[in-house]
Amino acid sequence: MILNPDEIQAIRQEAGHFPHPSAAAIEALNIAQQGHGWISDELLKEIADVLGMSPAELDSVATFYNLIYRRPVGKRVIHYCNSVSCWMLGAEDNRRHLSEKLGIGLGETTGDGEYTLLPIVCLGACDKAPVLMIGDETHFNVDPAKLDAILGDTGAP
Amino acid sequence: MDKPLTRNIKPDGSAASLAEYRAGGGYEGLKKVLAEFAPLEVQRQVKDSGLRGRGGAGFPTGMKWSFVPMGEDAPKTKYLVVNGDEMEPGAFKDRLLLEGDPHQLIEGVAIASYAIQANIAYVFLRGEYRLAADRLRRAIAEAEEHQLLGENILGSGFNLDLRLHTSAGRYICGEETALLNSLEGKRANPRAKPPFPQVSGLFGKPTIVNNVETLCNLPHILRNGVEWYKGLSRTGEPGTKIYGVSGRVERPGAWELPMGTTAREIIEEHAGGMRDGYRLKGYLPGGASTDFLLPEHLDIPMDYGSIAKAGSRLGTGTLILLDDRTCPVRMVLNLEQFFAQESCGWCTPCRDGLPWTVSLLEGLIAGRGRPEDLETLERLCGLLGPGNTFCALAPGAMEPLQSALKHFRADFERYLQPHSISGGVHA
């Protein structure tokens, strides 16, 4: 069993807010992902079991959403916005800089397991473009110099 | 100039507390509604106010509500769902309201729920809005403590349970019926209509889905009256609107202004005009899924009817500017890549047509274009247009493309000339 009792209880509590437990699928995946970093096949089966869903049914949800990870990711995921306003104002320069600094391409994780680099669609801060999200925190008006300040030496190859 | 929606938004970006919200008249609208108006009277006032949905489609709010079964024979369970899944590139107005004044949204939700007699409401919030989620969660707890939510609100006998659902990121979740599927824990594919959600929505019960900005208008309309609301506008379409600007301007941002303010005023006065060295070449008036307009359209009032007459849509009212040093073809490619990626894949024209569109544009930009590719792109605009797809995602995706092909044809044709690849920026 990978899910711990606290996680199972939290998932059951969320499921209690809906007429059908399966409606808490995303909440459950988020709870599990918070503790385990990503949703492995085994974890997915256990969550499906708690919610009374088939693993295939839950997998159809888990693979649909951008913020649910079905493959291992680093401790912190860098989501850089590649949508139109950010693209116009330097998102690609930032992505190149991140790739060089961290030594990883899109979808890859640094060797020390610290960072994963992924694109994301519009983060809803187009007035402060370019924007990116590292873990839970959103950073605005980002340029390579600002990225160096945010990341420091951490994760450098 | 009265700015009811943003009057509590603080420059430092912190959220208005319950006390601050109340000091400005907050929850007075709800109090009045519960004490003085029957649910159908609230519906009537909102209909009379002329409020149109601010999520992008602009459907009249009161009319939408009127399709919900009411009275003793109506189903006991009904739902109100807040569409807070702001993911359209260029749109960032709801974030301002969610983060800056969460109680205003809660009051709007309570009024709308009372109007349709829903006792359960969900805020469907995009997963990336972490700060908004924290603030909303706190505000909901505060409202419950003060009997503004929960059992017997303000002693009226009306009950409302409000829950926050944070989604996990997918543009299609902003589509009304896909949002309902997502909230039910399914893949967010759109549903066939009819039945419409107002009759059979979330868990098969009557459901209203309203956008954040739409709901934030309600406390003010009900508190100050329909005539006051109509007086806020500069045109026949009532109220204010949160307009936004992104792109190469001096001061990108979002401002609450009278409905019908011109794009020129928004860009030149509020956004400080174009940055030095850049000229305006065109603009998407209401987010990524709207048709390009040109500098010659700048003096047209930014309201639903006027923008439609000019050949585009008001959409979310958030302008994305194309400057003269950005290649329109590459800009359109970026937009089509977004739509292709975010297509849910439910219907064939969208699933196959959008990647085809992307590949044609990529080929063109890479110097592999053939003259007939432009005709194919034009044909795709029709094939993926209104009526040919399950929902509005693909037709929305075609709006910037079809208008770019019309207005910026020379830029597309330039890629067909040998030795013309310019790295995305025209000299």
- Rounded to an integer, what distance in angstroms lies between the CA atom of residue B22 and that of residue B43? 24
Judge if ipTM > 0.90. yes
User: B35 and B56 share a domain?
Assistant: yes
pLDDT digits (tens, 9 = 90+) for A44-84: 999 999 999 999 999 999 999 999 999 999 999 999 999 99
Cβ <8 Å between B168 and A138: no
CATH code, domain carrying B355: 1.20.1440.230
Q: Are B76 and B193 found together in one domain? A: yes
Last residue of a domain, one of B171, B198, B232: B232
Both B86 and B194 in one domain: the answer is yes
| B298 shares a domain with B345 | no
Confirm or reject contact between B244 and chain A (CB < 8 A). yes
Question: Does B426 map to a domain?
Answer: no
Q: Please, are residues B242 and B55 in contact by the beta-carbon 8 Å criterion?
A: no
Q: Is residue B282 in some structural domain? A: yes
Q: For residue range B96-137, list pLDDT tens digits in order.
A: 999 999 999 999 999 999 999 999 999 999 999 999 999 999
- CB contacts of A137 in chain B (<8 Å) are 130
- Shared domain for B390 and B341, answered yes or no, is yes
Q: Which residues of A are annotated as a binding site for [2Fe-2S] cluster?
A: 81, 86, 122, 126
Quote the pLDDT of residue B188. 96
Show the tokens assigned to B144.
Answer: 């419950």
Confidence (pLDDT) at B426: 43
pLDDT digits (tens, 9 = 90+) for A106-151: 999 999 999 999 999 999 999 999 999 999 999 999 999 999 999 9
Report the CATH number at residue B317. 3.10.20.600
Which stretches of B70-150 are DSSP H helices? Answer: 93-100, 102-116, 130-145
Domains and CATH numbers, chain A: 5-64 (1.10.10), 76-154 (3.40.30.10)
Q: Give the nearest partner residue to B334 out of A84, A120, A124, using CB atoms.
A: A84
3-state helix/strand/coil string of B211-273 = EHHHHHHHHHHHHHCHHHHHHCCCCCCCCEEEEEEECCECCCEEEEEECCCEHHHHHHHHCCC
pLDDT at residue B427, rounded to an integer:
35
Residue B45 located in a structural domain: yes
What's the first-to-final CA gap in chain A, in angstroms? 36
Q: Is B85 on the interface with A (CB under 8 A)?
A: no
Helix, coil or strand: residue B2: coil
In a domain, B75, yes or no: yes
Q: Is A120 on the interface with B (CB under 8 A)?
A: yes
Number of domains in chain B: 3
| Residue B425 counted as domain residue | no
Both B156 and B297 in one domain: the answer is no
pLDDT score of A1: 84
Structural domain that includes position B396: 327-420
Q: What is the rounded CA–CA span in Å between residue A129 and residue A87?
A: 8
Q: Is B248 left (phi over 0), alpha (psi -120 to 50) or beta?
A: beta
Mean pLDDT in consecutive groups of 10 residues from the start of chain B, 427 residues: 94 94 96 97 98 95 97 95 97 97 98 98 96 97 97 97 95 96 96 95 97 98 97 96 98 98 98 98 98 98 97 97 98 98 95 98 96 97 96 97 98 85 46
Establish if B90 touches chain A: CB-CB under 8 angstroms.
yes
Give which of A64, A70, A133 to mutate to test B binding, by max B Cβ within 10 Å.
Answer: A64
Taking residue B266's Cβ as centre, other Cβ atoms within 10 Å add up to 26
Do the chains contact at B252 and A128, CB–CB below 8 Å?
yes
Sheet arrangement for strand B207-211? B161-166, B120-125, B79-84, B207-211
The CA distance from A124 to A110, in Å, is 27
In a domain, B427, yes or no: no
Contact yes or no for B169 and A30 at CB 8 A: no
> Tokens standing for B397?
């995706």
pLDDT at B419: 60
Q: Do B36 and B158 share a domain, yes or no?
A: yes
Distance of CA A36 to the CA centre of its chain: 12
Q: Is residue B312 a part of any domain in this protein?
A: yes
Q: Are residues B176 and B296 in the same domain?
A: no
If asked whether residues B28 and B133 sit together in one domain, one would say yes
* pLDDT reported for residue B1: 78
- Determine, yes or no, domain membership for B132: yes
Query: Which residue among B232, B260, B292 closes a domain?
Result: B232
> How far is the alpha carbon of B334 from chain A, nearest alpha carbon, in Å?
6
For B236, other C-beta atoms within 10 Å of its C-beta total: 13
3-state DSSP assignment of residue A107 = coil
Instruction: Identify whether the C-beta of residue B389 lies closer than 8 Å to the C-beta of residue B347.
Output: yes
Identify which of A89, A121, A127 has the shortest CB distance to residue B342: A121
Q: How far is B213 from chain A (nearest CA, A)?
A: 14
Among B232, B264, B280, the domain-final residue is B232
Residues of B with Cβ-Cβ distance to A83 under 8 angstroms = 89-90, 288, 334, 338
Global pTM?
0.95
